[in-house]
Amino acid sequence: MSDNTLIVDGLTVSFAGTSVVRDLSFTLAPGRCVALVGESGSGKSVSARSLVGLAGARADVAARQLSFGGHDLLDQSERQWRAVRGKQIGFVLQDALVSLDPLRPVGKEILEVLQTHRYGDRQQRAARVLELLERVGVPDVALRARQRPGQLSGGLRQRALIASALALDPALVIADEPTTALDATVQAQILEVFQQIKARGAALLIISHDLAVVAQLADEVVVLRHGEVVEQGPMQQVLRQPQHAYTQALLAAVPAEHPRGTRLSPQRAGQARPIAVRAHGDVLLEGRGLGKRYAGPDGRVREVLHGVDFSLRAGRTLGIVGESGSGKTTLARIALGLLAPDDG
Ligand SMILES: Nc1ncnc2c1ncn2[C@@H]1O[C@H](COP(=O)(O)OP(=O)(O)OP(=O)(O)O)[C@@H](O)[C@H]1O
Ligand SMILES: [Mg+2]
C-alpha cells in the first residue's frame, strides 16, 4: 500500500535552533500532485530540499515520519541518498540554474544522470538525451545538447534541468518553480509533460507562485506561511473557497483572468516614491541598431539580435517582452555593458 507513496508527517526544519518549517504533513500517492504555495520565505524550498536530503549540512531535519515507498528518508547517509536521488526521486530545485556546471554541455549533464544509474548502453543513452530534450520542448536538440549553460537562454537551461530530472522516469518528481522562467507556450508544453508523468503513475510535488500552474496540476494544495501550514485540502476547495484569511489574501492578490506570472503574495499597499534625478522625459539610455551574433558548436553563426532600437526616458518604464530565447537578456546585458554588441 505504501508503495511509491511519499509520507511526510510532522516535518520540522531548523537552522541554528530557529525553525523555518514546522509540523508539515501530507501524503502523496502515485499519480497525484500536491502543490506547496505561500509567499516568499514561507518555507517551500526548504521543505522540498529536505525531501531529497539537500537541506544543507547545518539544517536540522526532524519528522515523525518521512518515507517514500516504505523506505525511511530520515537519517540516510549521503551514499544512500545518491541511490535515491535522480533514480527514484527526480527534482528541479529553485535556483538550480546557477548550479549547472558552466563548462559542461547540457547534454553531458543529462548523460551523467543516465551513466551514474547505469541506464542502457552508450547509444541508448545518447538517444535518450535527445529524446528528453525534445520532450521538454527544446528546439534543435542536437545543437543545444552540445552547448554550455552560458550559451543557452534562461528558458532553455530551465528545460534542460527538467529533462535531467525526468531522465530515469522517477516515481516521484519534485519541482520548485519549474516554469517561472518560461514563456506561455513553453510553459504549456512543460505542464503537458507533467500531466503525462502523472498519468503514467508518477507522483508530483510542485511549488509555484503561479496559480494557473497549481490549478492545472494539483490535486491537493498546502498553503504555508512563516513555515506553518495555514490551510490544506483539495485543490478546488482551497482555490475556490479558501477558509483562511491568509489564503484569501493570497488569492485576492491575483488579478482575475490573468493569474499567470503573478507572484503569490499578499499585496502591501505602498507607493514607491520616485527619486528625482533628472527631469521627466530626458533620455537616459538609448540603443540604436543593436545586433549580436553567436557562433554555435557546429560553426554556424546565429543572429540573436538584429537592428534593435530603444530609448528609455527618466521616470518611464520600458518593458522588454518576447518568447524564450528571443534575446531579452542579451539586450539587457548589452545595455549594462556586460556584453559588447556586434552592431549598433
Ligand atoms: N541554509 C539556510 N540557513 C538559514 N536559513 C535558511 C536557510 N535556507 C533557508 N533559510 C530560511 O528559511 C526560510 C524559508 O525559506 P525558503 O527558501 O524555504 O522560502 P520559500 O517559501 O521557498 O520562498 P520563495 O518563494 O522566495 O522561494 C527563510 O526565512 C530563509 O531565509
Ligand atoms: Mg523557494
User: Which three three-digit cell numbers place residue 223?
Assistant: 498553503
Taking the centre of ligand 1 as the mean of its atom positions, its distance from the CA of residue 1, in whole angstroms, is: 33
State how far the Cα of 54 lies from the Cα of 50, in Å rounded to an integer: 6
244: three-class secondary structure by DSSP: coil
User: Among 22, 44, 46, which Cα is nearest to 250's?
Assistant: 44
From the CB of 20, is ligand 1 less than 6 Å away? yes
> What element of type H or E holds 313?
strand 301-313
**Higher-confidence residue: 279 or 119?**
119
Q: Assess contact for 263 and 251: CB atoms under 8 A.
A: no
Q: Does residue 262 belong to any structural domain of this protein?
A: no
- For atom 30 of ligand 1, the residue with the nearest CA is 41
Nearest atom of ligand 1 to the alpha carbon of 224: 21
Q: Does residue 69 belong to any structural domain of this protein?
A: yes
Residue type, 124: Q
- Backbone dihedral region for residue 317 (phi beyond 0: left; psi -120 to 50: alpha; all else: beta): beta
Give the model's pLDDT for residue 258. 46
Ligand nearest to the Cα of 210, by number: 1
> Over 50: is that where the pLDDT of 39 sits?
yes
167 and 308, same domain (yes or no)? no
224 and 328, same domain (yes or no)? no
At 252, the pLDDT band (50, 70, 90 cuts) reads confident
Give the model's pLDDT for residue 288. 95
For the domain that residue 204 is a member of, what is the CATH number? 3.40.50.300
Nearest atom of ligand 1 to the alpha carbon of 43: 18
236 and 287, same domain (yes or no)? no
Nearest atom of ligand 1 to the alpha carbon of 56: 1
What is the number of structural domains in the chain?
2
State how far the Cα of 144 lies from the Cα of 291, in Å rounded to an integer: 22
Please state the separation of Cα 227 from the chain's center in Å.
20
**Which whole number is the average pLDDT over 156-181?**
92
Report the residue count for the chain: 344
From the CB of 222, is ligand 1 less than 6 Å away? no
- For atom 16 of ligand 1, the residue with the nearest CA is 43
Q: Does residue 12 belong to any structural domain of this protein?
A: yes
Nearest atom of ligand 1 to the alpha carbon of 16: 4
133 and 43, same domain (yes or no)? yes
Q: Does residue 266 belong to any structural domain of this protein?
A: no
From the CB of 56, is ligand 1 less than 6 Å away? yes
Nearest atom of ligand 1 to the alpha carbon of 207: 22
Taking the centre of ligand 1 as the mean of its atom positions, its distance from the CA of residue 45, in whole angstroms, is: 6
pLDDT in tens, 92-130: 988 777 768 889 999 999 999 999 999 999 999 999 999
Mutate to test the pocket of ligand 1, among 14, 19, 20 (most ligand atoms within 8 A of CB): 20
Average pLDDT of the residues of the chain: 89
E strands, 105-185, are 172-176
> Over 60: is that where the pLDDT of 1 sits?
no
202 and 326, same domain (yes or no)? no
At 249, the pLDDT band (50, 70, 90 cuts) reads confident
Q: Does residue 234 belong to any structural domain of this protein?
A: yes
Q: Does residue 237 belong to any structural domain of this protein?
A: yes
- For atom 20 of ligand 1, the residue with the nearest CA is 41
Q: Does residue 233 belong to any structural domain of this protein?
A: yes
% of the chain residues with pLDDT over 70: 91
211 and 133, same domain (yes or no)? yes
Q: Assess contact for 221 and 232: CB atoms under 8 A.
A: yes
Give the model's pLDDT for residue 41. 93
**Higher-confidence residue: 232 or 280?**
232
> What element of type H or E holds 199?
helix 184-199
Give the model's pLDDT for residue 223. 95
250 and 311, same domain (yes or no)? no
At 182, the pLDDT band (50, 70, 90 cuts) reads confident
**Which whole number is the average pLDDT over 226-248?**
93
State how far the Cα of 204 lies from the Cα of 195, in Å rounded to an integer: 9
> Over 80: is that where the pLDDT of 253 sits?
no
- Structural domain range at position 314: 283-335
pLDDT in tens, 285-339: 999 999 999 888 888 898 999 999 999 998 889 999 888 888 999 999 999 989 9
pLDDT in tens, 42-96: 999 999 999 999 999 899 999 999 999 999 999 899 899 999 999 999 999 887 7
156 and 221, same domain (yes or no)? yes
**Which whole number is the average pLDDT over 181-191?**
86
143 and 290, same domain (yes or no)? no
Taking the centre of ligand 2 as the mean of its atom positions, its distance from the CA of residue 230, in whole angstroms, is: 17
**Which whole number is the average pLDDT over 220-247?**
94
Give the model's pLDDT for residue 189. 87
288 and 187, same domain (yes or no)? no
Q: Assess contact for 177 and 207: CB atoms under 8 A.
A: yes
